[in-house]
Amino acid sequence: MATEQPTKQKLWGGRFTGKTDPLMHAFNQSLKYDQRMHDADIRGSIAYAKGLTKIGILTPQEESKMVEGLKVVGKEWADGVFVPQEDDEDIHTANERRLAEIIGPLAGKLHTGRSRNDQVATDMRLWLLDNVDDIEQSLKALLNVMVERADNEKEYLMPGYTHLQRGQPIRWAHLLLSHAQSFKCDLERLQQLIPRISVLPLGSGPLAGNSFSIDREFLRKELGFQSISENSMWGVGDRDFIVEFMMWASLTMTHLSRLSEDLIIYSTAEFGFVTLSDAYSTGSSIMPQKKNPDSLELLRGKSGRIFGNMAGFMVTLKGLPSTYNKDLQEDKEPLFDTVDNVSASLKIAEGVIATMNVHSEKMRQALSADALATDLAEYLVRKGVPFRETHHISGRAVALAESRRCQISELSVDDFKKLDARFGDDVMAVFNFETSVEHRASIGGTSLAMVQRQVDILRAALKN
């Protein structure tokens, strides 16, 4: 391999005669965080080198030498032995500088017709596509755990809440699957986003296109993109795919936050419906009896952080003129942070759901007869009484029980008949929680058959 050392200069340095302020250099430098795109940058450069051979800029021998050199640079990054230099502004500069150290002046041909503007846009899309695949698998794993747990615990009954007040009896599985439905929609949205990420900008040049007739369809196939950017100015300046991913992440984290909030409430001593495993809990530094749901609280807290990443970057974008502006360097840190935290959050949530203990007896004990007040009204509906009237009658029964400081189920048949003569001797059969949930047998209901239907639909969606 060549050992000739090229003269050190910035990729853009020919126009300038003065030195850069050291603080400005540090302010401008992005290698400290964009180096995580090293693999995407190498892959894009290898494809571009092959494209240059197709149009006669490189000979096959030069291509071979360049590709081998790029693979050496990539391996150095992978092995953790790459040594950045002070003048390496970004991952692109660092890789090209190191390539020149390995293969000599030939490295200078790699940038023919290519700009860092289309290069970084390509790297970002490649990097995000790789990570979206990992996030998709993590989301599927979380969904799978929720579905399997729901299937195994269909028999557990609990109060269903609106306004955090007991409403009607439901199955625990129905609650769990309500959250799973949100994650199913998140999975669909993520998959729908992929084609808008998978658009090739390479070949757009700095803004006006490539003047060497580079075969962009060849580049697309080499790098596995689904389509090609049709406008070079849009290709280098578009970051909507980053905003859209961060919007997706914000909504997904909102769903994780709401799931977390339910489980935090249900894990309190006052509820006692679930207990988190020790692996996802912490203790108190002063109160030894406490078992804190820190994993869930962190998931809830991360949702605000992720939303902040998205909102902050949108503010950066909103006033930019066309094509590339250095402001766009601010895309990487919020995106990287969002990817890291969403990926970890999905895995943590999966672990929490898989390992928590569910206390069906405590859920059952929390059910009270007043949760069957709607069933009492529906009893009269089945006898032909309009619902608005039966709702009022059932409310009077609730008020009577409250005045006697007893459960509505402790009223006598005569009490009900005095409230309304259409109550029969069979009215007491209303006060059965199992019967109540089994009456909710239309699609979307909490009956056993409908919960099983949800499980089957979600399983099928995961297989597809």
Report DSSP state, residue 8.
Answer: P
Residues linked to residue 358 through DSSP beta bridges, in sequence order: 274
Pairing state between β 227-228 and 199-200:
parallel
d(CA 234, CA 231): 5
Burial of 175 (0-12, 13-18, 19+ CB in 10 A): buried
Catalytic residue (one of 64, 213, 277, 284): 284
Cβ atoms of 153 and 136 closer than 8 Å: no
C-alpha dihedral, 210 to 214 to 217 to 223, nearest 10°: -90
Beta-carbon count within 10 A of 52 CB: 23
d(CA 277, CA 267): 11
d(CA 336, CA 315): 18
SS3 145: helix
Is 163 a catalytic site residue?
A: yes
Pairing state between β 165-171 and 157-162:
antiparallel
Query: Any residues with CB less than 8 A from the CB of 253 and at least 6 apart, and which?
Result: 299, 302, 303, 306, 307, 341, 342, 345
Report DSSP state, residue 113.
Answer: T
Burial of 204 (0-12, 13-18, 19+ CB in 10 A): buried
Residues linked to residue 165 through DSSP beta bridges, in sequence order: 162
Catalytic residue (one of 163, 211, 403, 442): 163
Report DSSP state, residue 18.
Answer: S
Report DSSP state, residue 106.
Answer: G
DSSP for 368-414, written as a single string: -GGGGHHHHHHHHHTTT--HHHHHHHHHHHHHHHHHHTS-GGGS-HH
Q: Give the pair of three-digit tokens for residue 408.
A: 């509505």
For residue 274, give the H/E element and its range. strand 274-275
Cβ atoms of 97 and 20 closer than 8 Å: no
Beta-carbon count within 10 A of 388 CB: 8
Write out the catalytic residue numbers.
163, 284
